Amino acid sequence: MDIRFEKREQLKEKPQDESKLGFGKYMTDYMFVMDWDRGEGWHDARIVPHEPIPLEPACVVLHYAQETFEGLKAYRTAEGKIQLFRPEMNARRMIHSNERLCMPEFPEEMFVEAVKAIVRVEKDWVPSAPETSLYIRPFMFATEAALGVHMAKSYKFVIICTPVGAYYAGGIDPVKILVEDELVRAVKGGTGFAKCGGNYASSILGQVKAEAKGYTQVLWLDGVERKYVEEVGTMNIMFKIAGEIYTAPIDGTVLPGVTRDSIIHILKDWGYKVNETRLSIDELMKAGHDGTLEEAFGTGTAAVISPVGELAYKDDVVTINDFQIGELSQKLYDTLTGIQWGKLEDKYGWTQEV
Ligand SMILES: *Cc1c(COP(=O)(O)O)cnc(C)c1O
């Protein structure tokens, strides 16, 4: 792929204090952009200054949400190398998301090449303080200006980057989760498995309700019976019950997380039985009360592992592991972050040097 480079007149000032990076506050100097037009396909790959993108007010994405995205990170190792974690998984997932939204395929090799190209240009933006990283956000949207609902004739694929701080600056704190029993996130046949903006637009109300009650995240139940546990706002979720692991299956309504897949690999490697099966909220709350629910944790790129300390469903509340991170959750966190930041041997071959 030929990538044109357009230099900025002046580079931005980088944030000095890497302990205050937060998430998504600072945008780097450049972005990768490529266009797709019917008849022509993908063309005009370029790395240009990160700046506003002019959009025709009638463009399809602004009205009908034809948009998909991805999220991955670039990690700086102690030796100063920069590496990505399973970027081909993000590339493939975006292909599936795009298929569902009738958007053109952005080929896997091109995706990984584009990510590496922008990270190379922005290598000085990859922070080096412990557990910081450069968050990479590829996304695609319909640009054609025409108001009828249809598959658009033109799209943009863009990658922006933002340095992010240690997710657990003050130690790993378990979160309080509210089980949403009214609103739903996904149904079979819908877009639950796709990483698309529309899924998030419709999830915000649940999040707002949860926050108003003092909870940090929503646990979504299946959209038909509101009975089976599916996933948390931006994370998949796993439970350790009587020594075995339970997580929702990937069958159309749950987002196939790269972290989820990696954790399942590691758990099986360690000899755990992992049940990718439907688990009802009643069974889960019962396990919480009878003491067999040993640990619960979310999995996702941003936090890696997010232990759950409390689950509330209707009038019932359970506390998990005395509101402490569980032994297994901690070990999984240390193992996966160890591989990502190059502190542990990558025996699965998951990292790629940029
Ligand atoms: C991105 C995302 C996840 C986590 O996926 P990772 O690839 O592990 O970061 C889980 N659930 C939803 C709804 C997501 O959008």
Of 130, 164, 198, the one marking the end of a domain is 164
Same-domain status, 204 and 75: no
Task: Tell me if 203 CB under 6 Å of ligand 1.
Answer: no
Give the pLDDT confidence of 13-27 residue by residue, as tens digits. Answer: 999 999 999 999 999
Ligand 1 binding pocket mutation candidate from 195, 238, 297 (most atoms within 8 A of CB): 195
Same-domain status, 217 and 102: no
Same-domain status, 198 and 316: yes
Same-domain status, 181 and 145: no
Of 122, 145, 164, the one marking the end of a domain is 164
Task: Tell me if 301 CB under 6 Å of ligand 1.
Answer: yes
Which residue has its alpha carbon closest to ligand 1 atom 15? Answer: 234
284 found inside a domain = yes
111 found inside a domain = yes
Same-domain status, 8 and 133: yes
Q: What predicted TM-score, i.e. pTM, was given to this entire model?
A: 0.97
Residue 72 CA, closest ligand 1 atom number: 9
Of 103, 129, 164, the one marking the end of a domain is 164
Task: Tell me if 33 CB under 6 Å of ligand 1.
Answer: no
The mean pLDDT value for 59-72 works out to 97
Residue 21's pLDDT is what? 93
pLDDT at residue 172 greater than cutoff 90: no
Same-domain status, 133 and 191: no
Task: Tell me if 83 CB under 6 Å of ligand 1.
Answer: no
Give the pLDDT confidence of 99-116 residue by residue, as tens digits. Answer: 999 999 999 999 999 999
Same-domain status, 207 and 160: no
Same-domain status, 129 and 198: no
325 found inside a domain = yes
CA atoms 95, 101, 105, 106: torsion sign: negative
Task: Please list, in sequence order, all residues whose beta carbon lies within 8 angstroms of the beta carbon of residue 147, skipping any fewer than 6 positions away.
Answer: 58, 63
The C-alpha atoms of residue 4 and residue 9 are separated, in whole angstroms, by 16
Q: Give the pLDDT band of residue 264 (cuts 50, 70, 90).
A: very high
Same-domain status, 195 and 328: yes
351 found inside a domain = no
203 found inside a domain = yes
The C-alpha atoms of residue 212 and residue 205 are separated, in whole angstroms, by 11
Which residue has its alpha carbon closest to ligand 1 atom 6? Answer: 257
Task: Please list, in sequence order, all residues whose beta carbon lies within 8 angstroms of the beta carbon of residue 153, skipping any fewer than 6 positions away.
Answer: 37, 38, 144
169 found inside a domain = no
The mean pLDDT value for 36-44 works out to 97
Task: Kindly give the distance from the C-alpha atom of residue 90 to the centroid of ligand 1, in angstroms, as a whole number.
Answer: 10
Residue 189: which CATH number? 3.20.10.10
Q: Give the pLDDT band of residue 170 (cuts 50, 70, 90).
A: confident
Residue 166's pLDDT is what? 86
Residue 256 CA, closest ligand 1 atom number: 5
Residue 142: which CATH number? 3.30.470.10
Q: What are phi and psi of 155, to 5 degrees?
A: -140, 160
Same-domain status, 37 and 104: yes
Give the pLDDT confidence of 196-232 residue by residue, as tens digits. Answer: 999 999 999 999 999 999 999 999 999 999 999 999 9
Q: Which residue has the tokens 């890696």?
A: 304
Same-domain status, 43 and 152: yes
Of the candidates 171, 79, 75, the one whose C-alpha atom is nearest the C-alpha of residue 127 is 75
Same-domain status, 228 and 316: yes
DSSP 226: S
Other Cβ atoms less than 10 A from the Cβ of 208: the count is 10
Overall domain count for the chain: 2
37 found inside a domain = yes
State the maximum Cα–Cα separation within the chain, in Å, rounded to a whole number: 64
Distance of CA 12 to the CA centre of its chain: 27
Q: 330 lies in which domain range?
A: 175-340
The mean pLDDT value for 266-273 works out to 98
Average pLDDT, the chain: 96
> What is the number of H-type helices and E-type strands within the chain?
8, 18
349 found inside a domain = no
